[in-house]
Amino acid sequence: MNILFVCTGNTCRSAMAAAIMNKIAVENDLDIRIESAGIFAEEGMGASENAVKAVEKYGIDLTNHRTQPITEDLINNSDIILTMTNAHKQVLETMTKGKVYTLLEYTGSQGDINDPYGGDLEEYEECAQDIYDALVDAAEKISDEQKNS
């Protein structure tokens, strides 16, 4: 299964989500490939400093992350696209035909993952925790789907 995480700039939320999901996938032996991108991302920038610090507590090194804009190839190569907000989902829905969900929607919840961009470390840590909590549920759902296929 190929999963694409999408946010605005690919420096905070989607970058953290991809890194956290990678860790969860390894720990739970999930057969998934993970990418992240941003709707308005520039190519090749690093993750924001506070995003790097926020995921360190999960034992994740985000220093090598490089941003990438959303592309048709990324969309086509993804089985599922998980956005951070409903606004991101709405932008992609016309191109994706039934494979885009907000992260919280995919896990049976609702709402958006708030953008910590420009905020302090505490805001980034709260965002990372929200993402982590949702991804634990997402991993369980993916694991169940893989066992039943």
Distances (CA, A) of 96 to 56, 66, 78, 90: 33, 24, 9, 10
Q: Find out whether 24 and 128 touch, Cβ atoms under 8 Å.
A: no
Catalytic site residue from 12, 73, 115, 144: 115
Q: For residue 82, which amino acid is it?
A: L
Active site residue 115: yes
Whole-angstrom distance, CA of residue 77 vs CA of residue 79: 7
CA distance 35 to 21: 10
Please state, in angstroms and rounded to a whole number, the distance separating the CA atoms of residues 117 and 140.
29
Instruction: Note whether 25 and 95 are within 8 A (CB).
Output: no
Catalytic residue flag (residue 66) = no
Say which of 7, 12, 112, 130 is annotated catalytic: 7
Cβ atoms within 10 Å, residue 28? 13
Cβ distance 124 to 51 under 8 Å? yes
Catalytic residue among 12, 13, 112, 127: 13
13 catalytic? Reply is yes
Residues tagged active-site? 7, 13, 115
